[in-house]
Structure 1
């Protein structure tokens, strides 16, 4: 199918190419073009299903009306739902979203940021990996709008949207305690990301208040381990620590994060 250009619109509307250019760039009124001509050009553009070139628009305005969304795993339900909301909001203001998954890999995260910078996206929404702080600093230095989601780096001055991980974990642990669970195990990972630390802090403090905290009921999985090895480690942990009645799982495993009772 032939790509429609402003020349095609000009021919159909029987006006000059410059007139079409002014109209589609919202400068028609400013340039003294009559409302009737503006309306005619807009109708022809819609009829021909005209779509402006993102590259041309970027060269003219310095903007691509695009956002780079970098998350850990776009197939994970949490991130998929998040992406859908972001996409809907972006669409409402005529922005497009480029989706990327890091797989929790820091090198991959840096490569994705570099690629999106080359694509000249207008801003970034990022679920950062453990060692991405310097790259975020670079985006700030480049004056690129950036928002971190789900996790952040303490001390780094950047906008972030997160849940109260400490309070959520503390409340959930107390809920289990009130249900009669005294021996509560926890599965976390070795990541140094702040949200994982806060979740474990909330869990530990709730049990310490009850005087029932037992460090032997805490399992830290290797963050870079395979899914199969993580499952094996958890099963082994359950077999050895059979005294516990409940398990609190902090890390993503098969898309789940929550509590289980035994």
Structure 2
């Protein structure tokens, strides 16, 4: 049986012994900031091109050019999103694999992983997105038809559909839980469809591992969240009391609050990296049974 305590300690060890693991995550964040900037610029362009829509003189649904612009922008954003995500995941997971197996990696290797795994990850992401979207869209249509016939029928179908969606998405989480380590550890000639099949097969054969690792990751998330919430209580009290001491107190209270928010962001960032390292460590660990 896997020694999960040992895997946890090893994952924690990597957090401070191999700082290179943070580099691909930071690069990924910058890439997504680039996407956010693109969306912002699209918004500014929309305002400039369609002032009558923005002023309310013309309804947005009544303006074919405005709707076409939105549809085109959303399509471009989705393509860019999938590409950025695939490249970012290639950067991260290649480095995570190196660190877990070799104990080290490098920024040079990171860039090669982003390029090397890009197409494979993109194809896998598209397949998984289809797995997620198609049933959800189908159930949404069923609910829509239900409401078009009768409100009560629609509400019943909506409740059933929500439960089915939750159950279905949980099943997908189970099947694709270790798909990332599988992507970066299989031969280059393996197709995306075969990787999906391998992920399903692995989860079925190692169901206990999937459940235990998932529960540990949930527990870590809950623990960090509770700690941050408890830590925020005295910070909130101090930030509320200090401003009563005048302008200097108000500035100090605001500074303390901002500092704690920054520390919370860093803590969640480190937690996210730890969870991915733990996931990869659990996948590549040898089962002694």
TM range (shorter): under 0.3
Return the structure number with greater relative CO, CA threshold 8 A, min gap 6: 2
Q: Which protein is richer in helix relative to its size?
A: 2
* Superposition TM-score, scaled by structure 2 size: 0.23
Structure number, greater radius of gyration: 1
* Superposition TM-score, scaled by structure 1 size: 0.25
